[in-house]
Amino acid sequence: MQNIRNIAVIAHVDHGKTTLVDGLLQQSGTFEAHKEVAERVMDSNDIEKERGITILSKNTAIRYNDYKINIIDTPGHADFGGEVERVLKMVDGVLLLVDAQEGVMPQTKFVLKKAIELGLRPIVVVNKIDKPAAEPERVVDEVFDLLVALEADETQLDFPVLYAAARDGYAKWNMDDENRDLTPLFDAILEYVPAPEGSPDNTLQTQIFTLDYDNYVGRIGIARIFNGRVKAGEQVLLAKSDGEKVKGRISKLIGFLGLERIEIDEAEAGDIVAIAGFNEIDVGDTITDPNDPQPLDPLHIEEPTLSVIFSVNDGPFAGREGKFVTSNKLKERLEKEMQTNIAMRLEQLGEGSFKVSGRGELQISILAENMRREGFEFLISRPEVVIKEENGVRMEPYEHLVIDVPEEFSGSVIEKLGRRKAEMTSMNPMPDGTTRIEFEIPARGLIGFRTQFLTDTKGEGIMNHSFLAYRPFVGNVEHRANGALISMENGKALGYSLFNLQDRGTLFIKPQTEVYVGMIIGEHARPNDLEVNPIKGKKLSNVRSSGADDAIVLVPPREMTLERAMEWIEDDELVEVTPENIRVRKRYLDPHVRKRMEKQKK
């Protein structure tokens, strides 16, 4: 019992959590010396590797001296806050990573607030001290001020501080110390993280905090044992969060060491294990003794704030590129996602139409990207915020938005956000020459803002946001200012036609792209929609003219990624997602139906 330590690594996105866990795994001797290990080994999912972000919290265990240290690597992006909330209840201490240049960011505040509420004492690791503009002392002061603002107690305010460069594999107590290895960090974990409470001799209490799925054994619950002992093959009682009780047998008990999952016979209080044997297992459920059941309090997960509608593709190209195109397949896949992702909700609206709610655009777009890679073909509507009603008042989610921009762009950013009902709360110059501005803004105001923001700041701006609270609804929020260029013909787009259309706005397609009636091929330079013909060729005649041999020079089209398309569309538009293409289209392809629907709306 005394030789186990359970910690979570928490930080804002891209402050180096996964890289630090890599260093701990390698320097603890968990991997054999000859073993080839990938970089950011905990980011196992393809999208995680490509984007360099952690999406799912994952756990590993390392042996150091005579201790077993269970480490949980958590996501840093606000959309995956649901993952972090659950994980913090399973650990006895946290490593709080803060970038030595960027300092405290919105997600740092979000995750630290949760840790403080649970009474966890942070070990602060000021990471990336090798950056040229690093200011470790300022960052430590920022963390202290934040803890005071979060009403931390005296023990939590007396936090240990280490200075590290996780990528180079060293940590130290003082900036003047020599750069060696991560030994000071291992020592800090053993010294400052308390041993787990509870006893192996008490009644069994084990709580599930993450789900996994295996085709052979079904659903797997990853759980922390708070009291008692768990044995493979043992008869236990599953106490669900709604009060239902299910008797069953643990078919498999799995322990963790490094990246390996090892079948074990027994585990006791304080450890983190994976348990198989229950198909109806869920996050927050307790596994307890059937003769003396003592369920733990269920976990509270914050509600989703954003929803989109997934529907079957009914366009002219339906079924040409995807493997799974029917509503049954779509429903099966979305239900499977809900089994392991408890921060999302699914609701069937009608035949072939499903409402998926989550914590943000990124979370939903990553689900869509995974489905697309698996061969699914479907349509997605524009994201909408989840509106609640409290005491007869309509409430909508607000976000805390932090923006770092070069000084010359701050005026235009403040003006654009003002139109989206944002309120500025602070503005501070940063050491690297940028200005940090903080806002409180309705979540609706952020939909579609990122692309405009990157254009306005010439790609140099950084924006981060996290959920703040539900507040009274504020009326209309300005959205896209420009209309769409809509194809009025079916066929292949021609360079000659696109050359003549590019003065009308920004194109999304290249020559030889297949188009259909109602497909959006670009953004109009004016507020109204415009129907155009992208397949019109040049009339050839046997009469020479002076302009006949003018070269056609096309501006490169704007590439529509899944996130950009979801942000860009309006209520009467949809994103068509297939394994090979992402297209944008009008909800009603026929122009006559479209006009009739617009009249009915008015």
Q: 45 versus 133: which is more confidently predicted? A: 133
* pLDDT tier at 485, thresholds 50, 70, 90: very high
What number of other Cβ atoms are within 10 A of residue 264's Cβ? 18
> Residue 17 sits in a domain of what CATH number?
3.40.50.300
Q: Which of 270, 288, 306 is the last residue of a domain?
A: 288
How is residue 241 written in tokens? 């969060």
Answer yes or no: is 324 within a domain: no
pLDDT at 30 exceeding the cut of 70: no
Assign residue 447 the CATH number of its domain: 3.30.70.240
Asked whether the CA dihedral 32, 38, 39, 41 is positive or negative, the reply is negative
3-state secondary structure of 112: helix
Please tell me the predicted confidence (pLDDT) of residue 27. 79
| Residue 78 confidence (pLDDT) | 53
pLDDT winner (highest mean) among 231-245, 298-312, 424-438, 486-500: 486-500
Residue 145 maps to a domain: yes
Average pLDDT over residues 551-563: 86
Sign of CA dihedral 209, 112, 129, 405: positive
The pTM (predicted TM-score) of the whole model is 0.74
| Alpha-carbon 206 to chain mean position | 28
The letter for the amino acid at 224 is R
The pLDDT tens digits of the residues spanning 53-74 come to 544 456 788 888 888 888 887 7
Secondary structure letter of residue 25 according to DSSP: H
Q: What is the CATH number of the domain that holds 553?
A: 2.40.50.250
Last residue of a domain, one of 151, 169, 192: 192
DSSP class of residue 298 equals P
The DSSP secondary-structure symbol of 387 reads: -
pLDDT tens by residue, 410-433: 888 899 888 888 899 988 887 767
Listing DSSP states for 84-110 in one string gives HHHHHTT-SEEEEEEETTT-S-HHHHH
Residue from 228, 269, 299 nearest 86 by CA: 299
Same domain for 181 and 212, yes or no, is no
- Same domain for 135 and 105, yes or no, is yes
pLDDT at 601 over 80: no
Asked whether residue 394 falls in the same domain as residue 438, the answer is yes
- Same domain membership, residue 188 and residue 40: yes
Please give the average per-residue pLDDT across 4-22, as a whole number.
80
Q: Is residue 528 part of a domain?
A: yes
Shared domain check, 248 and 171: no
pLDDT exceeds 90 at position 88 = no
Is 441 inside a domain boundary?
A: yes
For residue 54, which amino acid is it? T
pLDDT above 60 for 395:
yes
User: Per the structure block, which two tokens stand in for 184?
Assistant: 């000071």
Contact 284, 221 (CB under 8 A): no
Residue 263 CA to chain centroid, in angstroms?
31
Query: Do 159 and 254 have their domain in common?
Result: no
**Residue 208: which of 340, 46, 104 has the closest Cα?**
340
Determine how many CB atoms are found less than 10 A away from the CB of residue 326. 12
What secondary structure letter does DSSP report for 150? T
Q: Would you state the pLDDT for residue 181?
A: 86
Task: Compute the Cα dihedral for 587, 383, 344, 45 and give only its sign.
Answer: positive
Nearest to 159 by CA among 191, 109, 124: 124
Binding site listing for GTP:
14-19, 127-130
For β-strands 519-524 and 582-586, DSSP reports them as: antiparallel
First and final C-alpha spacing in the chain: 68
Q: How is residue 289 written in tokens?
A: 């003794």
Whether residue 70 is found in the same domain as residue 176? yes
Short-list 400, 441, 438, 430, CA closest to 113: 400
Binding residues: 14-19, 127-130
Segment 217-223 mean pLDDT: 82
Mean pLDDT of 99-116: 80
Q: How far apart are CA 419 and CA 423, in angstroms?
A: 10
Where does 343-430 show beta strands of DSSP type E?
345-350, 353-358, 378-380, 384-385, 388-390, 393-406, 423-429
Clarify whether residues 187 and 209 are in a common domain. no
Give the CB-side neighbour count of residue 443, counting CA atoms within 13 A. 27
What pLDDT shows up at residue 33? 40
* pLDDT of 196 higher than 80: yes
Which residue, of 450, 472, 494, is where some domain finishes? 472
Higher pLDDT, 395 or 481: 395
Taking only Cα atoms into account, the Rg of the chain, rounded to an integer number of angstroms, comes to 27
pLDDT at 57: 52
Between the ranges 162-171, 293-302, 549-558, where is the mean pLDDT highest?
A: 162-171
Residues 593 and 529 in one domain: yes
414 and 527 in a single domain? The answer is no
How far lies 108's CA from each of 96, 150, 185, 189, 225, in Å? 8, 12, 20, 20, 28
Residue pair 552/499 in contact (Cβ under 8 Å)? The answer is yes
CA distance 420 to 426: 17
Contact 136, 148 (CB under 8 A): no
Separation of alpha carbons 5 and 456, rounded Å: 47
Q: Phi and psi dihedrals of 486, rounded to 5?
A: -115, 135
Rounded to the nearest 5 percent, the helix, strand and coil shares of the chain are 25, 35, 40
Per the structure, the count of domains in the chain is: 4
Asked if the model's pLDDT at residue 586 lies above 90, the reply is yes
Whole-number Å distance between alpha carbons of 530 and 317 = 22
Distance (Å) of CA 179 to CA 129, 156, 170, 184: 11, 27, 6, 11
Residues 121-166 pLDDT 10s: 899 999 888 888 888 899 999 899 988 988 888 888 899 999 988 8
Q: Is the pLDDT of residue 585 over 50?
A: yes
- In this prediction, residues 80-96 reach a mean pLDDT of 77
Tell me what the pLDDT averaged over the chain comes to. 83
pLDDT at 41: 43
Q: Is the pLDDT of residue 7 over 50?
A: yes
Mean pLDDT of the region 174-193: 88
pLDDT (0 to 100) of residue 40: 42
- Identify whether 380 is part of a domain: no
What crossing angle do the helices spanning 136-149 and 106-117 adopt, rounded to 10°?
Answer: 50
Residue 146's pLDDT is: 87
More confidently predicted of 25 and 371 = 371
- Same-domain pairing of 184 and 227: no
Residue 326 DSSP one-character state: S
Is residue 316 one of the residues assigned to a domain? no
Which residue do the tokens 């009902």 mark? 421
Query: Tell me: the pLDDT tens digits for 523-556?
Result: 999 999 999 999 998 877 777 766 656 678 888 9
Domain annotation covers residue 428: yes
CATH of residue 249: 2.40.30.10
Residues 339, 541 contacting (CB under 8 angstroms): no
3-class secondary structure, 475:
coil
305-326 pLDDT, tens digit per residue, is 889 999 999 999 988 988 989 9
**Chain segment 31-44, per-residue pLDDT in tens:** 544 344 444 444 44
Select the more confidently predicted residue: 362 or 101: 101
Beta-carbon-side half-sphere exposure of residue 289 (alpha carbons within 13 Å): 12
* 533 and 427 fall within a common domain: no
The CA distance from 207 to 222, in Å, is: 8
pLDDT in tens, 325-375: 999 999 999 988 887 777 788 898 888 899 998 877 777 888 898 899 899
Is 338 inside a domain boundary? no
pLDDT over 60 at 79, yes or no: no
Contact between 12 and 106 (Cβ < 8 Å): yes
The type of residue at 294 is Q
The tokens of 497 are what?
A: 């036609």
Domain span at residue 268 reads 205-288
Tokens of 319: 């079924």
In order, the DSSP letters of 539-577 are PP-SS--TTTTPPP-PPPPPP--HHHHHHH--TTEEEEE
Q: Encoding tokens for residue 40?
A: 């950011």
* DSSP 3-state of 442: strand
Q: Which two tokens stand for residue 446?
A: 């952020």
Element (H, E) at 515: strand 514-515
